[in-house]
Amino acid sequence: MSVESHLKHRFGLEGQRALVTGGASGIGRAIAIALAAAGADVAITVHKRPGGETLAAIGATGRKSAALSVDLANLDAETAGRLMDDADAAIGPVSILVNNAGIIRRAEFHDHAEADWRAVMSANLDAVWFLSQSAGRRMRERRHGRIVMIASLLSFQGGIRVPAYTAAKHGVAGLTKALANELAPHGVTVNAIAPGYITTENTEALRADPERSRQILERIPAGRWGQPDDIADAAVFLASPAAAYMNGHILAVDGGWLAR
């Protein structure tokens, strides 16, 4: 086997089918397109945006695509099961689940509203659990699958003015390890990516604040904000055969932030 063929086999996703939550924009869109470019058929979840740009980009790779409408902030076990059924029907049995979708609410802890707390925990942790449970059951039966979580630097740190987000992302880190322990014997890997400061809508307020943006950049050894493609490349790796012996790991893609 040539080096090129070996790399395509180890890092390619031919014959795989992926569901990416929150695939209409930002990191989710980049991940969905990258998975398709690597050979996977890809379904995305959408809510307030139709996801047309993502679907067009997936189509340009020659892969099958679908957009599934769901409000992840109001997901329960039954709805998660129906979503997985819809994804399986649209593109075939899902072998890769990327739990990307998430929201953030910023406020001082004493002003953090109960509604904001519940919305963030529901979208960022409850939905991840219900979808991982539903997908994991199916992957376990087939004895193959990849679950990729999108964690955060705040899976390791406390942050400022984002208590619900921090709590949820710590939960995602724990869930990654717990599920890895149970699913590893069945040929299913569960890993997470902890993005650093990435240029998305979630960080728009930080980038618009000259002082805060300066403070952030001064701590990043790479000297720049990350791009969604930086996270997408890591997701392709974790979904590929090359990462078959990685399990329960949280991969920081942060320009060196945590090492500072």
| Catalytic machinery residues | 165
Residue reference for tokens 């997901």: 75
Angle, helices 163-183 vs 127-142, to 10°: value is 10
Beta-sheet strands, E only, within the chain: 17-20, 41-46, 65-69, 96-99, 145-150, 188-195, 250-253
Q: What pairs with residue 177 in β-bridges?
A: none
Residue type, 74: N
Cβ 119 vs Cβ 108: under 8 Å: no
Report d(CA 179, CA 99) in Å as an integer: 13
List the one residue out of 63, 50, 56, 152 whose CA is nearest residue 100: 152
Q: Which two tokens stand for residue 163?
A: 């208590």
164-187 as b/e: b if 16+ CB within 10 A: bbbbbbbbbbebbeebbeebeeee
